[in-house]
Amino acid sequence: MLLRQTCTRWAPNGSQVSNSRVRCLTGAVRRVSHQSIKQLTIGVSSAVFVFISYSLFTNPPWSHASIAADQPLSYQHFIPASIIESKESGPATKLITLSIPKALAPEDCHPIYSVYIKDDDLQIERPYTPLFGVEKNGEMVFWIKRYEGGEVGRWLHSKNVGDTVEIRGPVPTLSLAKEMENDWDQIIMISGGTGITPFFQLLHLFLQDGSGKAVTKPHITLLHSSPNPEELPPPIILSTLRSLEQSHPGAFTLKVFVDSPHPSSFAYSDASFKPLHIGRITKRDINATLEELGLWGRSLPSKSSLLSWLNPFSYLSRPSHTTSSSPQLPEKVLFLVCGPEPMINAIAGPRARDLTSGPVRGALGALGFTAGQVRKL
Ligand SMILES: Cc1cc2nc3c(=O)[nH]c(=O)nc-3n(C[C@H](O)[C@H](O)[C@H](O)COP(=O)(O)OP(=O)(O)OC[C@H]3O[C@@H](n4cnc5c(N)ncnc54)[C@H](O)[C@@H]3O)c2cc1C
């Protein structure tokens, strides 16, 4: 208060300080007692403390205030990215390409990782998976779904080429780099809708590393499902995967499912969609895949075990094929499941409350697979 009064008296405007104003200031300073200086110090310190605390609370390092336009892409702060392409890829999906300056792209990222994109209007962020990672030229291609009542997806779909969004990352989704070749003979991925994006990133980087070396282990199978042919992943995803399947016959197998075949004209025009399996991915399809891979030569579970699968408490009882007369459960098989919540629930059971994978239920639980072999992304 004292400081404010003094200031308004001695320098209200203009850069020249007159002699009378200097005298006024000198007088004011003389009048300031020792007690006042003490109060002033306490006041200023408190104000600085309150300001810093407020700033840290309202603007943590990952929030809107932490924008570092000239810093490399990092999970600790946001940097601006330009939308350089945005095109429809189905009834509710778009392929959106973002670009950051080449010099700001991170050196080395191991799949699988995502990048947070912030909705500037609501100040909320969501993670999205760059299909080809953060490319050396600073570009990132995303396949993004818009949900009816959703926030960030809808906001992103409304953005145009030339607009800027803020991003931070990369943030690891699942690190498989170390265990990939040594721990698993087979990796079976099961995805629904845009849940294919983390698997695409892994497959692209793992199978297409440019080193020319033949990848033999682990063998990867991807079972993907979409509601109908129109909503299948765009060619940049599906055709690329079909090409990878053809160029790596011993290393990768792709199976595509649709809940319903309509509109059929859409699907059958593109070879990359074929063969198209009709119906949701079920325990039977997983079982058939395990058989094709030579992992167990088991016929489908008996009627009684199918009935026990329909029983919500069946996971409490022992799976039928673990009886002494059945073949051993394949051990070096890892399942990765990513998709809408109801699909994850049906295939592998719900996630735990802390969003970790939790116990294995659903189709994989009924087949006898346990938590160490199943990851829910
Ligand atoms: C690691 C990771 C990577 C991901 N990668 C991708 C990707 O590459 N592409 C992609 O499309 N998605 C991806 N996602 C999902 C993405 O992060 C978002 O969760 C998704 O886009 C939905 O966000 P939103 O803000 O649009 O919708 P939200 O606002 O979060 O809403 C999501 C759903 O909840 C419903 N909902 C919203 N509000 C309510 C309410 N009040 N009551 C009931 N229901 C409600 C909406 O209708 C919608 O169906 C990824 C997720 C993770 C964790």
Are the C-beta atoms of 336 and 375 separated by less than 8 Å? yes
The whole model's pTM is what? 0.77
How many other β-carbons are positioned within 10 Å of the β-carbon of residue 109? 18
* Architecture in CATH of 79-172: Beta Barrel (2.40)
**What per-residue confidence (pLDDT) applies to 263?**
74
**What per-residue confidence (pLDDT) applies to 295?**
84
Atom of ligand 1 nearest to the CA of 93: 11
**What per-residue confidence (pLDDT) applies to 19?**
39
**What per-residue confidence (pLDDT) applies to 109?**
84
Atom of ligand 1 nearest to the CA of 197: 8
Residue ranges of the chain whose pLDDT lies below 50: 1-33, 50-61, 65, 299-326
Q: How many CA atoms lie within 13 A of 179 on its CB side?
A: 12
Which of 94, 115, 147 gets mutated to test ligand 1 (max ligand atoms within 8 A of its CB)?
A: 147
Which of 75, 126, 173, 337 gets mutated to test ligand 1 (max ligand atoms within 8 A of its CB)?
A: 126
148 lines ligand 1 (CB under 6 A): yes
Cα 375 from Cα 348, distance rounded (Å):
9
Strand pairing class (79-90; 164-172): antiparallel
* CATH number, domain 179-376, options 3.90.1150.10, 3.40.50.80, 3.40.50.300, 3.40.50.2300: 3.40.50.80
Cα 121 from Cα 158, distance rounded (Å):
12
Residue 284, SS3 per DSSP: helix
**What per-residue confidence (pLDDT) applies to 252?**
94
**What per-residue confidence (pLDDT) applies to 256?**
96
Closest listed residue to residue 206, CA positions, set 187, 183, 232: 187
Cα 134 from Cα 136, distance rounded (Å):
7
Q: What digits encode the pLDDT tens for the residues 63-117? A: 554 777 788 999 999 999 999 999 999 999 999 999 999 999 998 888 899 999 9
In the chain, domain spans: 79-172, 179-376
114 lines ligand 1 (CB under 6 A): yes
144 lines ligand 1 (CB under 6 A): yes
**What per-residue confidence (pLDDT) applies to 206?**
85
**What per-residue confidence (pLDDT) applies to 171?**
94
Burial class (CB in 10 A: 0-12, 13-18, 19+), 264: middle
